[in-house]
Every structure is written in structure tokens, then in C-alpha cells.
Amino acid sequence: MLEPSAGAEAGYTDDQYISKGARTASREEIFAQADILIQFRSLGANPEAGRADLRSFRPGQIVMGLGEPLTAVREAADLAAAGVSFFALELIPRTTRAQSMDVLSSLATISGYEAVLLAAKALPKIFPMLMTAAGTITPAKVFVIGAGVAGLQAIATARRLGSVVSAYDVRPAVKDQIVSVGAKFISLDVEATAAEDKGGYAKVMDESFYRRQRELMMEVVREQDVVISTAAVPGKKAPVLITREMVEAMAPGSVIMDIAAVRGGNCELTRPGETVIHNGVTILGPTNFASMAPYHASQMFSANAITFLKHLLGFLPLSTDVTDDIVVDTLVTHGGEVTNSRVREALGLPAAEPVSSGKVS
């Protein structure tokens, strides 16, 4: 079942869903009848409209979607009180086995691509080198901070537009990936050990590391036309990597695209959801890149979600002794309790008994 016109703004008609065997139904009917609800932004990631759903949930329902559970801990507790089993898709581990379910990588692909297009539009220059009757136009210089999925996509997109791209990442091991998509790897003389956790996500470093990193990065940033920052840590405020002083050292007309704006931003002057102009430098802070390419964002999200759902079916009904890391890591609430260890820690709750599972007969 799906809401009428649910996919219209992404370019999908109701007839396309119906031809695949779905039927349209009111939101109230869906909540009343569905055993499993798949939402893109559930309560937590959708704090205003999502709260209205609390009164519609039924105890025992399974809810899947993005929910920002590591920061929206109050909302996680509210979902537990509603009696639903909530699976937060942003908690899917970054492992080979779970790669086809990795919603964050799909969204980061969109972010990296769209970020470059927005920056190119804001820059009062063109990206490629051109030989013209009026002389040679030199290419724009683009610097990408962070070489995760979003950063690598940003590098590749900026290169396709013809700019000269350099990039930096706290993890020296990604140098080959940076070079493989056409950028020059910038090496800073700053030591970084254990820069990612066991789930493959970036970890917070200490302040002395970030201070030294900022000092060394100043000379790189001041020479750029565009700086694209992508450094974010799940459940934490984004580290400040670009200071006011660094912005003021850039030439007027330069652009900073802060992909981490939704986490507070990597630039000291970023305002999430806004465009700031400081000393002639434009600082962009978009917070919803997926809405800029809804057709393919929907396509990738649905593929990830259905792959996860097919995996989950083997562990229903949820009962005891489940040890599967994909199920355990993503399950936030079950049986009226917050079950995820990281969310419980954020709420100040003691460790919970593991929720494991029997198999469907």
C-alpha cells in the first residue's frame, strides 16, 4: 500500500506502482493495516511532521527509515513508548555484507554530485580550461576535504566539469582512491591514528589534532576557487575545519560548499540551510541534497530498503538471541524499550539485554 501521489514529485506516477502490484490507500488506512512501514524520514529525521505519526502507530508494528537516533534520542524514546520496532537505516554497518543496504552511501552519492553543481553555479567563473579567441581561460581550482562516498563523488564530478581538483582526508590509506578519480592528494603533516570506527564511519579526533590540521590547511584553502567539505561523524557535531580566518584569506568570489551543514558544518561561518556571504566568499549550507535529485535518490533508497527488508524477513518474528550484526545494529526500539546500545548510552540508560531472533518457519 502507498499514499496517493507518494512518488509524484520524484517523477513516479501511481500507475507505475499499481502496475507492480501495489494499491493506493489513505495514510490512516496504511497505518491501521500495515505490519511494516517504510518511511524515508521517520520521527527524529522528521521531527515536526513525524511527531504526528506517533498516535497512528500500533504496538508490534515494524517501522523502517532514517531517524537520526544518535542525536534525536528523545524521539527514539517516544518510538519505544509507541511500542514499535524501529529500524534506523543510517545505522546499517559499513561492511561488505551490508553494502547493498547502505542508505547513507546512496545519499552521499547524491550529495557529492549536487554539491559540485551548486558550487559551480555560485562561482563567478567557469570550471574548465578553454582556449578562446579572447585567450586562454584557466581552470577553476577545487579542494575537497574528506574522501568518503560524498567526497569521491564530488572529486569525480568536479573533474568531469574540467576543474583542477585536489583533496585531503585524515586517512592516508584513501590516497589511492583520491588519485584514482582524478585528484591530487594533499598530504598534511598531522598524525591520525584510528580515524574510523569498526563500522567504517569516521571517528571524532581530539581538539589538538583539529587545531594542527587547520593550521596546515590554511595555505591550501587560500589558493582555491571552491572548497567542498564533507567531514561528518555520525551522532556528533561536525568538526570545524575551516575557520573565519581561513575564509578571510580566500579571494572574493570564492565558494565554500559545506556538505556537513546538516551536522552544524565544517566551516565556522556556515548556517545550515542558508547561504552566507562573508568578505566576498559565498558559504553554502544545504541540508537536503536528496530533494535535489529525487528520482534517483528514491531509486537508490528503495533498492537499499528492500534489500534490508528481505534480509530482515529471515529474523521475524523478533524474539530472543539474535546475533546478526545488521539486525542488532539497526534495531533502535523493540517491545516498548530502547534496545540499541549506542542510543541507550546517549539516554543515560544501562546496557540492555541483546534482542535476538528466531527464524520464520
Cell matching residue 257: 560548499
In angstroms, rounded to a whole number, what is the distance separating the alpha carbons of residues 228 and 149? 13
In three-state secondary structure terms, 63 is strand
Lowest mean pLDDT among 46-60, 79-93, 255-269: 46-60
Among 274, 289, 256, 263, smallest CA distance to 150 is for 289
Burial status of residue 338 (CB atoms within 10 A of its CB: 0-12, 13-18, 19 or more): buried
| Ordered alpha helix ranges (H), 161-282 | 175-180, 207-221, 244-249
Catalytic residue of the set 12, 53, 85, 105: 105
Which CATH number describes the domain made up of 8-98+294-357?
3.40.50.720
Catalytic residue of the set 94, 212, 222, 342: 94
CA angle 102, 324, 57 (to 5 degrees): 70
Which residues 6+ apart lie within 8 Å of 171 measured at CB? Answer: 147, 192, 195, 196
Catalytic residue of the set 201, 222, 341, 342: 201
For 101-130, write each residue's pLDDT tens digit: 999 999 999 999 999 999 999 999 999 999
Cis peptide before 317 (omega within 30 of 0): yes
For 148-175, write each residue's pLDDT tens digit: 999 999 999 999 999 999 999 988 889 9
In angstroms, rounded to a whole number, what is the distance separating the alpha carbons of residues 281 and 339? 46
**Across residues 298-317, what is the average pLDDT?**
96
Contact 144, 260 (CB under 8 A): no
pLDDT at 61: 96
**Across residues 135-150, what is the average pLDDT?**
96
Catalytic residue of the set 102, 169, 225, 329: 102
Among 27, 89, 91, smallest CA distance to 62 is for 89
pLDDT at 357: 44
pLDDT at 152: 98
pLDDT at 361: 31
Question: Is there a catalytic annotation at residue 258?
Answer: no
Computed over every residue of the chain, the mean pLDDT equals 91
Question: Is there a catalytic annotation at residue 113?
Answer: no
Lowest mean pLDDT among 92-101, 123-132, 210-219: 210-219
Is the pLDDT at 344 greater than 80? The verdict is: yes
Contact 235, 341 (CB under 8 A): no
C-alpha distance from residue 234 to each of 108, 138, 204, 243, 340 (Å): 13, 38, 9, 22, 15
What does residue 197 show for φ and ψ, rounded to 5 degrees? -90, 180
pLDDT at 191: 58
Superfamily of domain 100-292: NAD(P)-binding Rossmann-like Domain (3.40.50.720)
Question: Is there a catalytic annotation at residue 325?
Answer: no
% of the chain with per-residue pLDDT over 70: 92
In angstroms, rounded to a whole number, what is the distance separating the alpha carbons of residues 319 and 334? 10
pLDDT at 126: 97
Is the pLDDT at 202 greater than 60? The verdict is: no
Residues of the chain with CATH 3.40.50.720: 8-98+294-357, 100-292
Contact 82, 44 (CB under 8 A): no
More confident residue, 262 or 320: 262
Question: Is there a catalytic annotation at residue 99?
Answer: yes
Catalytic residue of the set 39, 61, 99, 100: 99
Which residues 6+ apart lie within 8 Å of 75 measured at CB? Answer: 43, 44, 47, 50, 51, 67, 68, 69
For 235-263, write each residue's pLDDT tens digit: 889 999 999 999 999 999 999 999 999 99
Which residues 6+ apart lie within 8 Å of 169 measured at CB? Answer: 145, 146, 147, 148, 151, 175, 178
Question: Is there a catalytic annotation at residue 42?
Answer: no
Which residues 6+ apart lie within 8 Å of 296 measured at CB? Answer: 110
